[in-house]
Copies of this chain bind each other. A is one copy, B any other.
């Protein structure tokens, strides 16, 4: 059985209080006694119980990170960002992949609350959920999503604007038939991108042409394949890089070429984008920075350093490579 503070106290022939003092580096303990206690601690391999401490202090020094899927190439960088920042503040973080399923999201939030995490970084599109979270009065920051209705902490990127600019770029290249491979309808960032696309297209006096995928490589492939049957877009804007990559493959399998026959624009700038052939033009999202930023805001909130909700929009950037012609080969 693990040694407790009492075991140490008895071995060192002092009271629990004294032991507590030395493990917390209080200065009011004589050198001689301190030595005895330290010795006893070593002897027993004693380690103070974090949960007992948590119970006293009402602090667990733990956080939750709720995201759709750590296996999606966009999230590891974000996760690392929150992890690194959390580590700096002495927190340790629970990883929770939800596959965007509200039920699983709720389940994890329940678990996290039970674990008494001090805060949560949430990447979810479920409005309902953020409301519940607000009522639970557990500090949290919404990440990569946007809500103008609720006064909550948010760090994100302007998905709408990014998509709009990407389409503008395609338009300037002279494209007249630009299709969009959208993400799942229930994912907010995907919807924003779709709106950006639609508005840019309409403003140019053209007709929107949207098909939905599921953010996966395979779905990108399939949607593109059927797109090829339905019409002849000269350019395609995909809601994320994975689908863009799948689309490229579908195009090549159909005997066509990117960018010669069809231009492809992605979104996220995951690592693969730069090494794909052709290199993918895309919208860079500062994932790592977003994670760090989310955690910084969460920390402020936990420590009560800030009362008013804060919204931070990180800068995106069009990264022009070769999948739309021009750019880097």
Q: What is A's interface to B at a CB cutoff of 8 Å? A: 2, 45, 47-52, 54-55, 60-62, 65, 69-71, 73, 75-77, 79-80, 83-84, 92-97, 108, 111-116, 135-137, 217, 245, 249, 271-272, 275-277
Contacts and interface: CB of A to CB of B under 8 A. Distances in A.
Contact of A112 (B49, B77, B92): B92
Contact of A275 (B52, B75, B272): B272
28 contacts: A45-B135, A47-B113, A47-B114, A49-B55, A50-B116, A51-B54, A51-B115, A51-B116, A52-B55, A55-B55, A62-B94, A62-B115, A70-B70, A70-B79, A70-B83, A71-B76, A71-B77, A73-B73, A73-B271, A75-B76, A80-B97, A83-B95, A92-B94, A92-B111, A92-B112, A93-B95, A275-B276, A276-B276
How many copies of this chain? 2
Nearest to A72: B76
A50 B108 CA distance: 14
A271 B79 CA distance: 19
Contacts of A112: 92
Given A50-B114, A51-B51, 15 more contacts: A47-B114, A48-B114, A51-B54, A51-B60, A70-B70, A70-B76, A71-B80, A83-B97, A92-B111, A94-B94, A217-B271, A245-B275, A276-B276, A276-B277, A277-B277
Nearest to A60: B51
A132 to B, nearest CB: 11
A115 B95 contact: no
Contacts of A52: 55
Nearest to A53: B114
Contacts of A95: 65, 79, 83, 93-95
A54 B53 CA distance: 12
A41 B76 CA distance: 38
A48 B115 CA distance: 10
Nearest to A80: B71
Nearest to A276: B275
B51 A55 contact: yes
Contacts of A136: 45
B115 A50 contact: yes
A187 to B, nearest CB: 19
A278 to B, nearest CB: 9
